[in-house]
Amino acid sequence: MTSVTLDRRDATDAPHWQHPVGPARLPDRAKVEAALAAVRAWHPYDGDAWLDDVADVLDTVPPPEDLVDELAQRLRGYLMQLVSYALNSEVEKQDGRATRLITRAREVREEELPSDYLQSVIHLRRMGWAVNELHDLLTELEAVKGPESLKEGGPS
């Protein structure tokens, strides 16, 4: 076998590579940081977690006073997720109930939590019903999966 010696090329002969997305086409730093903040704040869908919290607020025994703020925050998060899923899957085009439930979910989410304990329990229950009804509709329309604990053969 014979070997062939190749001539060495000077580096200046090679064309300079340029990135196909130049600086003018890159998004500005504020947009990138906003997108990164949204990704960091994202929580995966967990139907079993919302089911536990909804059960806590709709139970005949009201939740302890020291848990009211925490439950309200979590329910608000579930409402945000469910409304987002509903809008992204365009369920309002499939079922007329969706528009009403999305509107109600937004309204109850925006309301301030009352400082009075009994009024705050009432507000929690309204949020719980909003989460439950919107989730039931989204599950029925197959926009989200139902909780594992409710599926046949799922964990008990």
Domain ranges of the chain: 46-144
CB 106 within 8 A of CB 76: no
Please give the average per-residue pLDDT across 71-86, as a whole number: 93
Is the model's pLDDT at 156 over the cut of 60? no
**What predicted TM-score, i.e. pTM, was given to this entire model?**
0.68
User: pLDDT for 31-55, tens place per residue?
Assistant: 778 777 777 777 776 777 788 999 9
Give the pLDDT band of residue 143 (cuts 50, 70, 90).
Answer: confident
Is the model's pLDDT at 114 over the cut of 60? yes
Tokens of 141: 């329309």
CB 74 within 8 A of CB 53: yes
CB 79 within 8 A of CB 131: yes
Element (H, E) at 82: helix 68-88
Per-residue pLDDT at 61: 94
Least trusted range by pLDDT, from 19-33, 49-63, 81-95: 19-33
The span from the CA of 108 to the CA of 133, in Å, is 13
Per-residue pLDDT at 68: 96
CB 96 within 8 A of CB 103: no
CB 124 within 8 A of CB 71: yes
Give the pLDDT band of residue 132 (cuts 50, 70, 90).
Answer: very high
Per-residue pLDDT at 98: 94
